[in-house]
């Protein structure tokens, strides 16, 4: 099971299809998130300083770096 700290949560909620540049991630959750806990995944805006996925999970919205293979594969499989 995974546990999260509030510093990895994505606090600014916007529409799931299009996120504004003000909705960027600055801290990233380092662990794999079980697929059964994921409702949906979106990308942060292309103008954000770090590319990230926002995982909408049973524990809230969590930022994950797009550099992680498991995160990219999960995003592509959704």
Q: Which residues contact 59 (CB under 8 A, 6 or more apart)?
A: 4, 37
Q: Which uninterrupted H or E stretch holds 56?
A: strand 52-57
* Cα distance between residue 47 and residue 78, in whole Å: 23
Query: Which tens digit of pLDDT belongs to each residue from 3-39?
Result: 444 445 444 433 334 445 567 888 899 899 999 999 9
Query: Which tens digit of pLDDT belongs to each residue from 39-73?
Result: 999 999 888 889 999 999 998 899 999 999 999 99
Q: Which residue has the tokens 């930022």?
A: 63
Cα–Cα nearest to 55, from 1, 9, 22, 23: 9
Q: Which uninterrupted H or E stretch holds 73?
A: helix 69-77
The dotted CATH code for 24-77 is 2.40.50.40
pTM: 0.74
């Amino acid at each position: 099971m995974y546990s999260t700290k509030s510093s990895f949560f994505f606090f600014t909620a916007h529409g799931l299809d299009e996120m504004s540049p003000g909705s960027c991630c600055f801290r990233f959750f380092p662990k794999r998130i079980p697929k059964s806990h994921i409702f949906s995944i979106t990308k942060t805006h292309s103008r954000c300083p770090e590319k990230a996925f926002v995982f909408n999970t049973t524990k809230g919205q969590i930022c994950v770096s797009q550099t992680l293979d498991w995160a990219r594969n999960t995003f592509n499989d959704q």
